[in-house]
Amino acid sequence: MASSDSPADDKAGLSRRLHDSQLNSGHIEGQGRKNAMRVLVIEDDKETAQFLQKSLKENGHTADLAGDGEVGLTLATDNAYDVLIVDRMLPHLDGLSVIKSLRAEGNRTPALILSALGEVDDRVKGLRAGGDDYLTKPYAYSELLARVEALGRRTVPEEQQTRYTVGDLVLDRLSHRVTRAGDHILLQPREYRLLEYLMQHAGQVVTRTMLLEHVWDYHFDPQTNVIDVHVSRLRAKIDKNFDKPLLHTVRGAGYTIRDGPA
Amino acid sequence: MTAPLERVAKAASTTAFGLSAAAVAFFLFAAAIVVGFLFWQTNNLLTRQVLGALNAEARILASELKVGGSTKLTETVTALSRPGGTGLYYLADHNGMKIAGNLNRIPPELESDPRGGVFSYQPPKADNGNTRLAVAIPVDLGADVRLIIGRDIEDQRLFADSVRRAFLLGFGVLSLIGLLGGLAVSRLILNRIEAITGTSRSIMEGDLSRRIPESGGGGELDALAGNLNEMLDRIEGLMSGLREVSDNIAHDLKTPLNRLRNAAEAALRDPRGGEAYREGLERTIEKADDLIKTFNALLLIARLEAGPLEDSVETFDLGRFVEDVSELYTPAAEEAGFALSIEAERDVLVRANRQLIGQAVANLIDNAIKYSRGGEPGSAITVRAYRLGDGAAISVSDHGPGISPGDRERALKRFVRLEASRTKPGTGLGLSLVAAVARLHHGEIRLEDNQPGLKVVLLLSGKCLIASAGDAPPSLAAQ
């Protein structure tokens, strides 16, 4: 399914983000630098691969390129990467086999599968082969970046965290209680899960499609932008009566929750 | 003249003809063995009878020689040799001179064989010179005389001949009938096969509408023809689907592609420069994104129509899921001025593709929001999920302009957007995608009058339904 984001906005949003980051002492980019990732791009199309390498570099990451499955497998085995970006159709050894081989060796590096095959069961096959996320071509770069950064952070065992804190906003995963500056905030179950996912990725950009996939478990195109209304309702509950907003819209890309400048 | 000959030659070269010819040949071979054995046996029996009679007579004549001497024997032989008798005799003295009898000489056939045998002779009164067949044995009477007695077996031979002729004639007639039968059967089969071949050839040449004629007899060839026809129906369906898609791609994707190109060109020509380029690029990407959406929807429909998806069937509560998807749209619907109400029956467990059902419900709600006017009194959208017959149904009703009965069929077609201006955003694939999802679940989509407004019903067949919550196998429920 196509992302519900408009890549038109993505591009604009991206450059604005880069621009903003320079102005605002590089908050987003700083996020990238703090978590600078080493990415392996296994992609046989040179132009795409170079575009990804250049773009990832602009966002503070480093990327190695592999032009086919065998080279990719060797590089992934011999080096420690934070994230693998694997094209599904590759010469010599296809993407799913690369991931399968790595998993068989006990290599658990998070892998994002890129594929022109976007049907429901292709996704299932990709994840079953050991992929951690699946993105259908053509994709918006902002979507790819958000997913790569989310995957890179996965290595930190955040799942076991019982408490998320962003500024004075606290989400207790055991009692399912949300408080801001000590005040209890009453959330609907869906709003709670939305906030939980956003706080789990605090400081990162989370796209609308990522929210749809992880909060709702929907892998289809909702046609219209239904997520925005849900987010703005959540925002009304957590930000409205407070001076400092925490939930920000990253224009063209998605949302981010962070304790920082707007 | 050559055409029938060619047809016969063609029939004769068929497998069917070969098989019937082989059957006839085998039958004739078996019959020949049986008849030949019977014939040989009968002939043998008759010959033995004749020899038995000759031996008895030989004993009588020998005793007559002993009692009455050679004179008496000569008398008896002369008497027996009179015309009208049944035997053949030749009596000679020790010098070889004939004394009595109706044979003129010792048959040369017997000279070499002292035990007697078959020979041909010239009957004394034969006017036409025909020889007759006889069998004779020498009678041992000591050195003084030589006696040969025989019997005419010409009648036996004639009988045997006529029997042989009758059999040969019978065999001939049988072979002919077998041959003709084989030809007829192979012509019959060949005609049917030629019909199949002809049909498949014209199909290969591009006429997919042709079908193999069925005789209606219900034989195995009819069953074959029926199967082939069903296969052809399926292929034709797929082909026309494919053709339709490519036609529609050509027709409906060229317009947005052109718009995309125009947007880029217009930006490039804009004298404002930098800022205009940015706007132009943004518009271009927006248009490209619309194209991608259309493409994805098209590919998904094509994929769904090609057959079931292997891995993605799940068991879930349809009512709960539909409620879930609807709730995703509730805030958006409210913003657009609609009251979205949900009436979902619980415990309707289905085995279906959850994501596709979700996509279908999303498309229907999205259509309802897009094509009916919100913010007016009574602008409500109702989503229902319920059991229907032995299956289940999902319906989305609105109070918008609806679709007139005449347009309903057309609305389900790909790329059909009933508003002529095409100003509203959309790919025109929403409903046909819903229809494809319905077909994948052995169901259908119905457009009904909501009085006023449109009610779209997505039917799932009983095959997808797990009778009740209690009936779900634990393994399925666990998935």
Exposure string (b/e) for A54-93, b if CB count within 10 Å is 16 or more?
Answer: ebbeebbbebbbbbbbbbbbebbeeeebbbbbbbbebeeb
Q: For A162-216, what is each residue's pLDDT tens digit?
A: 889 999 999 998 999 999 988 999 999 999 999 999 999 888 899 999 999 999 9
Mutate to test the interface with B, among A15, A16, A121, A136 (most CBs of B within 10 A): A121
Instruction: Write the residue in A8, A216, A218 that is nearest to B285 by C-beta.
Output: A8
- Residue A96 falls inside a structural domain: yes
pLDDT tens digits for range B282-303 = 888 888 888 888 788 877 887 8
- Is-contact B244 B414, C-beta < 8 A? yes
By Cβ distance, the residue of B303, B328, B370 closest to A119 is: B303
Q: Which amino acid is at A232?
A: S
Given the structure tokens 């309802």, which residue do they identify? B368
Angle between helices B430-440 and B354-371 (to 10 degrees): 150
Q: Contacts of residue A10 in chain B, CB cutoff 8 Å?
A: 285
pLDDT at A77 over 70: yes
**A146 plus A184 within the same structural domain:** no
CB contact under 8 A, A121 and B309: yes
| pLDDT recorded at residue B427 | 62
Instruction: Choose the final residue of a domain: A97, A125, A153.
Output: A153
Asked if A116 and A41 sit in the same domain, the reply is: yes
Nearest to A8 among B282, B303, B353 (CB): B282
User: Are residue A122 and residue A204 in the same domain, yes or no?
Assistant: no
| A111 and A190 co-located in one domain | no
Under 8 Å between Cβ of A208 and A198: no
The Cα A172–Cα A163 span in angstroms is: 5
Q: Looking at B114-155, which runs of residues are DSSP E strands? A: 117-121, 132-139, 145-152
Q: Which residue of B has its CA nearest to A233?
A: B331
- Same domain as A132, residue A52: yes
Q: With an 8 Å Cβ cutoff, are A226 and B324 in contact?
A: no
pLDDT of residue B124: 66
Residues of B in contact with A11 (CB under 8 A): 281-282, 285
Q: Which residues of B touch A (CB under 8 A)?
A: 278, 281-286, 288-289, 292-293, 296-297, 299-300, 303, 309-312, 324-325, 327-329, 331-332, 334-335, 353, 355-356, 358-359, 362-363, 366, 369-370, 430
Looking at domain B2-158, its CATH architecture is 2-Layer Sandwich (3.30)
Q: Return the structure tokens found at A173.
A: 């995963």
The pLDDT score that the predictor gives to residue A11 is: 40
Please give the interface size between A and B, counted as residue pairs whose CB atoms are below 8 Å apart. Answer: 92
The whole domain housing A128 covers 35-153
Q: Which of A118, A153, A188 is the last residue of a domain?
A: A153
Please indicate, yes or no, if residue A140 is contained in any of the structural domains: yes
Task: Report CB contact under 8 Å: A118, B299.
Answer: yes
The pLDDT of residue B310 is 63
Closest chain B C-alpha to A205 CA, distance in angstroms: 21
In a domain, A100, yes or no: yes
**Are the beta carbons of B369 and A6 separated by less than 8 Å?**
no
Q: How far is B308 from chain A (nearest CA, A)?
A: 10
A61-70 average pLDDT score = 92
pLDDT of residue B130: 75
First to last CA, chain B: 74
- Find the CATH number of the domain harbouring A176: 1.10.10.10
Judge whether A252 lies within some domain. yes
**CATH homologous superfamily of B309-478:** Histidine kinase-like ATPase, C-terminal domain (3.30.565.10)
Which tokens belong to B204? 């290969």
Asked whether residue A205 is domain-assigned, the answer is: yes
Domain boundary among A96, A122, A153: A153
Which residues in chain B are closer than 8 Å to A138, comparing Cβ atoms?
288, 292
Contacting B with CB below 8 Å, chain A residues are: 1-2, 6-12, 118-121, 124-125, 128, 136, 138, 190, 216, 218-226, 229-230, 233
Contact B362 A6 (CB under 8 A): no
Please, which residues bridge with residue A179 across strands?
A: A170, A184
- Whether A41 has a pLDDT exceeding 50, the answer reads yes
Which residues from B are below 8 Å from A218, CB to CB? 325, 328, 355, 358
Sheet holding B349-352, edge to edge: B314-317, B349-352, B465-466
Best A11, A194, A224 member to test B by mutation, with max B CBs in 10 Å, is A224
CB contact under 8 A, B286 and A8: yes
From CA B414, how far away is CA B280, in angstroms rounded?
Answer: 30
In chain A, how many domains are there? 2
Supply the mean pLDDT for chain A: 82
Instruction: Say whether both A173 and A220 belong to one domain.
Output: yes
Give the ipTM of the model, two decimals please: 0.77
Q: Tell me if A138 is assigned to some domain.
A: yes
Per-residue pLDDT tens digits of chain B, which is 479 residues long: 556 777 777 777 777 778 878 888 888 899 889 988 988 898 888 888 888 888 888 888 888 888 888 788 888 888 888 877 778 888 888 777 888 888 877 777 777 666 777 888 777 665 566 778 888 888 877 767 778 888 888 888 888 888 888 888 988 888 888 888 888 888 888 888 888 888 888 888 877 788 888 777 778 888 888 888 888 888 888 787 777 767 767 766 787 788 888 888 888 888 887 888 888 888 888 888 888 887 888 778 878 877 776 667 888 999 999 999 999 999 889 888 888 999 999 888 988 888 899 999 999 999 888 887 776 766 889 999 999 888 899 999 988 877 777 777 777 765 555 554 444 556 667 888 888 888 888 888 888 888 788 889 999 888 888 765 444 444 443 33
Residue A125 lies in a domain: yes
**How far apart are alpha carbons A58 and A50 in whole angstroms?**
12
- The rounded distance, in Å, linking the Cα atoms of B241 and A174 is 54
Q: Are residues A185 and A99 in the same domain?
A: no
pLDDT at A12 over 50: no
Q: Which residue of A has its CA nearest to B329?
A: A226
A144 and A201 share a domain? no
The answer to whether residues A162 and A220 belong to one domain is yes
* A5 inside domain: no
> Chain A partners of B430 at a C-beta cutoff of 8 Å?
223
A106 and A50, same domain (yes or no): yes
CATH number at residue A134: 3.40.50.2300
Residue B300 to residues A135, A193, B444, Cα–Cα distance (Å):
16, 30, 17
**Rounded to a whole number, what is the distance in Å from the CA of B293 to chain A's nearest CA?**
6
Q: Which string of DSSP letters, residue by residue, matches chain A?
A: ---SS-HHHHHHHHHHHHHHHHHTTTHHHHHHHHT--EEEEE-S-HHHHHHHHHHHHHTT-EEEEESSHHHHHHHHHHS--SEEEEESS-SSS-HHHHHHHHHHTT----EEEEES--SHHHHHHHHHTT-SEEEESS--HHHHHHHHHHHHHTTS-GGG-SEEEETTEEEETTTTEEEETTEEE---HHHHHHHHHHHHTTTS-EEHHHHHHHTS---S--SS--HHHHHHHHHHHHHTTSSS--EEEETTTEEEE-SS--
Closest CA to A207 of A253, A148, A154: A253
